[in-house]
Amino acid sequence: MLSNSSRWLTYLCSILYAVLGALLFLLPGQLAPVFAWKVTPFMIMTIGGWCLGNAWLAWISARRWEWRLGFSALAYLWMFGAGELWVLYLFRAKLVLGHPIAWLYFAVILVNALTALVGVLDLLRIRPVLRSPGPVLSRGQYAAAVAFILFAGFLGVYGCVAQIGAPGTNAGIFPEIMSLFTLRAFGVFYLAIALAVVPYLWHPNLDAILHHSFASYGLIFFITIATGVNISLFDFIAKPGGLLYIGAYLVVGIPLLFVFRRLGTGK
């Protein structure tokens, strides 16, 4: 596995994301006006859901700390931190660090990016073995992984390149109009989710993807809760694209509960 430095940085990410996520998730109305850029309470609560999900993913990955199981979850965490730091750099002119919550978000992303850097350097130095014995994905499971990569990857790429006014950006899927800053932050999130699953196309190890799914489940859980709390913002008749936003989490999240019950969590 990677070094103890990487492990403790991953634990630190977990703790920081838990604190940040709890604040954003529980106090969206109070913190939205003073966040690092212009967002709504629903957007803040959703970002809080990302952070709480990241906290769980980082904690369970550091707890197990086996490269053969945690490589893809760590890859997501690294890409998320590096990607969101890049978004902050691109929109630095619109970054407002006037409130402690904005500074906390900035600091957590910096720590996440540092964790990614140390992890990649460890990876190049230690070269941990990825291959491991055990069951592989069935054809159906493999097809589901491919479909997930394509769907999440499309959302990620689109969020990273689309301009305001493009289809789906004017509250067509997410029920509120996003700034380009927010759209890019969402795009990086989905792109990291998709790219982290790509290695399973040539390494279809069942235990590893079960761990990845279990570690990532907090993202699904908390974002779904945030959506449920703000369900009144959706107009499914005038803008049926909102069904795609909600349905994506339910279609992935509900079946995974049965998968965990039947196959376990990869450990």
Segments making up each domain of the chain, as ranges: 4-263
Q: What is the pLDDT of residue 38?
A: 96
Q: What is the pLDDT of residue 2?
A: 92
Q: What is the mean pLDDT of the chain?
A: 95
Q: Which residues contact 11 (CB under 8 A, 6 or more apart)?
A: 58, 59, 62
- Residue holding tokens 């957007």? 43
- Residue environment code for 151-167, b if the CB has 16+ CB neighbours within 10 A, otherwise e: bbbebbebbbebeeeee
Q: What is the pLDDT of residue 105?
A: 98
Contact 181, 37 (CB under 8 A): yes
Q: What is the pLDDT of residues 216-242, one digit of tens each?
A: 999 999 999 999 999 999 999 999 989
Other Cβ atoms within 10 Å of 219 Cβ, number: 24
Closest C-alpha to 85, from 99, 100, 106, 102 = 106
Q: What is the pLDDT of residue 19?
A: 98
Torsion of CA 188, 190, 192, 198, to 10 degrees: -140
d(CA 7, CA 29): 34
Alpha-carbon separation of residue 32 from 1, 54, 153 (angstroms): 39, 20, 28
d(CA 29, CA 151): 31
Contact 34, 75 (CB under 8 A): no
Token digits of residue 23: 């604040």
Closest C-alpha to 83, from 24, 157, 33 = 157
Q: What is the pLDDT of residue 164?
A: 87
Token digits of residue 214: 């279990």
Give percent of the chain with pLDDT exceeding 90: 90
pLDDT at residue 132 is higher than 70: no
Closest C-alpha to 185, from 36, 7, 9 = 36
Q: What is the pLDDT of residue 1?
A: 79
Alpha-carbon separation of residue 15 from 29, 107, 109, 239 (angstroms): 23, 13, 13, 38
Name which residue leads in pLDDT, 227 or 168. 227
pLDDT at residue 145 is higher than 90: yes
Bridge partners for 177 per DSSP: 170
d(CA 138, CA 135): 9
What is the average pLDDT across 194-220? 96
Lowest mean pLDDT among 8-17, 76-85, 102-111, 231-240: 231-240
d(CA 95, CA 93): 6
Q: Using 50, 70 and 90 to split pLDDT, how confident is the model at 131?
A: confident
What is the average pLDDT across 91-100? 97
pTM of the entire predicted model: 0.96
